[in-house]
Structures are given as C-alpha cells and as structure tokens.
Amino acid sequence: MLLKFAIQEFYQEKRYQNVAPGTLQNYKYTLEDLRVYCEERGITNINEITTRTIKGFFLTLQEKGNNPVTLNSKTRLLKGFFNWLIDERFLTNNPATGLKKVREDIRIQTFTDDQVQQILSYFRRKKRKEDTFFAVRNYTVFLTLIGTGVRVGELINIKWNDVDFRSGVIKVFGKSRTEATVPLSNKLSKELAEYKVWKENYFNESSEYVFVNQHNKPITVNAIKCMFKRLATVMDFKGTRVSAHSARHYYAKRYIQSGGDIVSLARILRHTSVKTTERYLHYFGNELKDQNEKHNPLNDMEI
C-alpha cells in the first residue's frame, strides 16, 4: 500500500473515532513530514519503511530543533500509526517498535510571583487607560488560566452554562474529550461575573461562550498564542517562557508551595497518572526546601 494512501485511511479512521482536533492536527503534521522524508529517498510503499528509515527521520527532526518532549510525542504517534496498519493487516511488523524514548529535561518553565504581578499590573493599566474589548478580555483570560490551571484547549471551549457560580466549579472538556470539573475560587468567580456583564453590555447581546473574539465568536487557540506572544515582547522576561502553559505550571507551583497535596493537584489538573503531577513536586520541592530554611521556627530558637 502506498504511504500517502495509508496516511489518508488512518486520518479518516481517527476522525471517525472523534479524536480531539489537536491530536488530529499532530497526526497530520507528523505523518506528512514522514511522507515527505520517505519520498525524498524514493520510499513510497509502507512495506519499504524500516526501523533505519524511522531513525533517520527522527534524526532530521532533531536537527531541525525538535526538543526531546516533541520527539517522544511524535514517536508515540508513529507507533500508533504503524500499529493501526498491523491491526488492519497492511503490515506484519512495526518499524517504530525499536525506537527508544529520548531523555527529557525535567526543567519546568513557569512564572515567578513577581512576574505574575507585573503581568496583572500591565493588564490593569490597559483596562484603566483603554477599557477596550481586548484589554478586558485578555485580563480575564490570564486570571482564569492562573486561577484554574486549565489548558488552552479547555479554556476556549468553556461556555457560560459550564460555569456554576453557586457551587464554585467550572466544567471543562479535557484531553480525549473527557468531561471534568475544576474548582472556581471566590475571587475568580467575582471577576468572571463582572466580565460577563461587561461583555453583554459591550456586544448588546449574550454569547454562550465565555471567551470570544471581537465579533463575539468563540476565541481560538491561535488567538491565545498571539496574546501571549505580544505579552512576551512587552514583558521581556529573561529565561521564562511567556505562554498559557506556563500559567498552568504556575498554578501547580503555587498549589504545592501553599501546602496542597499531589493527589488533589492531579485531580484538578486532570492528569491520568499521578506520576505526571509528581514532576512538579520534584522540581518545585527545592523551592519549598529553601522556604523552609528561611521561615522555619527553629531559626529563632536557641537549641
């Protein structure tokens, strides 16, 4: 079977399975890169692809700047693709089976408390001076991200009927289209309620989605990325990635530093395995140790 047709069949199968749009896009880009790599080397049939071919493909990805996390993600995608070909009896062996996981850097980039205060001050000034739609919306977007730890894909799909102000929870649809609830603090609840009224007055009509664009249509992932890209230019933080995911990391960091337990944090962040959450404890545990040394009550005692 020709590789390009195998990719088309696989992509249609994943669409039929109602795979999340982000995952579909990752499959599309990764498999298209593989197809181009193979065809440049005269490989057009899936039976011609070997483990050596796959390793060569990943070497080129590495040379293009793909980091270990991205490489491991693409390894999983390719293994899934070839396993599907085996299940459909187009292949008998998976050429990606021999690929080993690339060692990942456990460093987690996030904001400091001071940086978060700088960002909030910047958005507040924009609101006071301009009172534009973007100033108000972006301020509320950032508050929601650092106040809930939700992913971008979850944020853009939140509807007002998902926000339970009385119970203090927000319903989100996470990875694999799974439904979950995240806690809503009193402070964020107040901000969202005020934003809701402001938005309805601004557009002279209501919208089912919490975060929208200037045409009152649902905001996109790309719009959030552009917002953080502009913010990164203004803030010019050295050594800190200014992104929505950094806000999620910040939520986890502050939760741990405030004494929250790993199991509860795993549930809030909707991690399928607590081992994923333990990365935060491993990385931010040193900061907790430093704080303990600074504020330990034994420091002021003669013993």
Secondary structure (H, E, C), 38-75? HHHCCCCEHHHCCHHHHHHHHHHHHHCCCCHHHHHHHH
Kindly report each contact of residues 29-36 with a partner whose C-beta sits within 8 Å and lies 24 or more positions away, as own/partner.
30/74, 30/77, 30/78, 31/7, 31/77, 31/78, 31/81, 32/7, 33/57, 33/61, 34/3, 34/78, 35/3, 35/4, 35/7
Would you place residue 290 in the very low, low, confident or very high pLDDT band (cuts 50, 70, 90)?
low
182, β-bridge pairs: 170
Q: Is the pLDDT of residue 25 over 80?
A: yes
Instruction: Report pLDDT for 298.
Output: 60
Instruction: Report pLDDT for 206.
Output: 85
Nearest to 147 by CA among 257, 296, 42, 247: 247
The pLDDT tens digits for 34-51 are 999 999 999 999 999 999
Instruction: Report pLDDT for 233.
Output: 95
Instruction: Report pLDDT for 300.
Output: 66
Would you place residue 239 in the very low, low, confident or very high pLDDT band (cuts 50, 70, 90)?
confident
Q: Which residue has the tokens 């803030």?
A: 235
pTM greater than 0.85 (yes/no):
no
Across the chain, mean pLDDT equals: 88
Would you place residue 127 in the very low, low, confident or very high pLDDT band (cuts 50, 70, 90)?
confident
- What is the spatial distance between Cα 139 and Cα 90, in angstroms, rounded to a whole number? 52
The pLDDT tens digits for 173-221 are 876 667 888 999 999 999 999 999 999 999 998 899 999 999 999 999 9
Q: Is the pLDDT of residue 259 over 90?
A: no
Would you place residue 255 in the very low, low, confident or very high pLDDT band (cuts 50, 70, 90)?
confident
For residue 165, what is the DSSP state?
A: T
